[in-house]
Every structure is written in structure tokens, then in C-alpha cells.
């Protein structure tokens, strides 16, 4: 029974952490109050505020690299802070990583003012192609991703009907 309570405490702590992270202030207050009334212990996250501030810094760095199209920085952080067991073992993480690679492959096409630098664009497309041939090959049988395997070979993806959604 004690083991179940420990997991419940952890789970409640995670819910509290998420509500705090997502800035659901009113919901967080109500949740914390109700847990207190019901005598439910809210597990403090291991490592406390130092870990929280470190995680927040990593999250901000990931978001900044994503927003700026800085593929190398993003994937360096991704590989350093997301365990390989999650990256390789979780189907949602593999799908997310695939979409992240698409984001960076087309970043210059979507966000450049004027024509993107051809050399830089070719480099990003080449990186995406290498990903498709290696780690991304595992998703080649997935209908959802199949059209994207043609992306490196399409001269102008932004006008191609298959890639309008991008």
C-alpha cells in the first residue's frame, strides 16, 4: 500500500509541476488546496529549485534554437537532455523528432526574407536526407511520414501540392 501512495504522491507532484509550468495559477491553487483538504501529499520534485531552474534554462535554449532554426544547437541539446531510451523507445518521441527534422529542413524556405541562401538550404536538406536514410528510416513504413521521404528531391517544396501544409 505504501508503494501506491508513493506513486500517487509523485503523480500529484507532476500534475502540480505541470500546472505551474503551464501557468494555470487558479487551477494550481485549487488543486493544491484540494490535495491539502484530502490529505494527499504533494511530492516535491527531486533536486528542488536548482533542478527547476536548470530545466527551465534548457527548455528556453531548446525553444530559442527551434525558433531561430538553429538545428545543430537544438539537436545537441536534444541528444544531451532527452535520454536515448526515450528518443529510441518512445513512438511519440520518434514522431516528434521526425517533425523536428522537417521543421529544420524547411526553416529557411518558410522564414527567410527573400530567397534563402542556397548553400545553407542545401546543407539543411542534405542533413534531413541523411536523417531519413539513417535514424528516420524506421518510420519509412508509416503512412503519416511517407510523403516526406520525397522532400529532399523536390526542387521547390513550397509550391509542391504534397507539401502545401508545411
86 and 159 together in one domain? yes
Question: Could you tell me which residue, 63 or 141, shows the higher pLDDT?
Answer: 63
Is 98 part of any domain? yes
| Percentage of the chain exceeding pLDDT 70 | 81
20 and 91 together in one domain? no
Interatomic CA distance for residues 120 and 26, integer angstroms: 46
Domain that holds residue 28: 2-37
| pLDDT tens-digit map of 16-63 | 888 888 888 899 899 989 988 888 877 665 445 555 678 888 899 999
Is 16 part of any domain? yes
Of 63, 133, 60, 126, the closest CA to residue 100 belongs to 63
22 and 89 together in one domain? no
88 and 159 together in one domain? yes
Of 8-22, 93-107, 110-124, the least confident? 110-124
User: What pLDDT is attached to residue 164?
Assistant: 59
Is 64 part of any domain? no
Q: Model-level pTM?
A: 0.62
Number of domains in the chain: 2
Is 57 part of any domain? no
Amino acid at each position: 500500500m505504501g508503494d501506491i501512495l508513493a506513486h500517487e504522491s509523485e503523480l500529484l507532484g507532476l500534475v502540480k509541476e505541470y500546472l505551474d509550468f503551464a501557468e494555470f495559477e487558479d487551477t494550481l491553487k485549487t488543486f493544491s488546496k484540494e490535495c491539502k483538504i484530502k490529505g494527499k501529499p504533494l511530492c516535491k520534485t527531486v533536486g528542488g529549485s536548482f533542478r527547476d531552474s536548470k530545466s527551465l534554462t534548457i527548455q528556453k535554449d531548446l525553444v530559442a534554437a527551434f525558433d531561430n532554426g538553429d538545428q545543430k544547437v537544438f539537436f545537441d541539446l536534444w541528444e544531451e537532455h532527452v535520454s536515448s531510451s526515450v528518443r529510441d523507445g518512445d513512438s511519440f518521441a520518434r514522431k516528434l523528432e521526425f517533425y523536428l527534422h522537417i521543421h529544420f529542413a524547411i526553416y529557411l524556405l518558410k522564414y527567410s526574407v527573400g530567397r534563402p541562401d542556397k548553400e545553407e538550404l542545401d546543407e539543411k536538406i542534405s542533413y534531413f536526407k541523411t536523417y531519413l536514410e539513417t535514424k528516420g528510416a524506421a518510420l519509412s513504413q508509416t503512412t503519416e511520414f511517407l510523403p516526406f521521404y520525397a522532400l529532399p528531391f523536390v526542387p521547390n517544396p513550397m509550391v509542391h501540392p504534397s507539401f502545401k501544409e508545411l
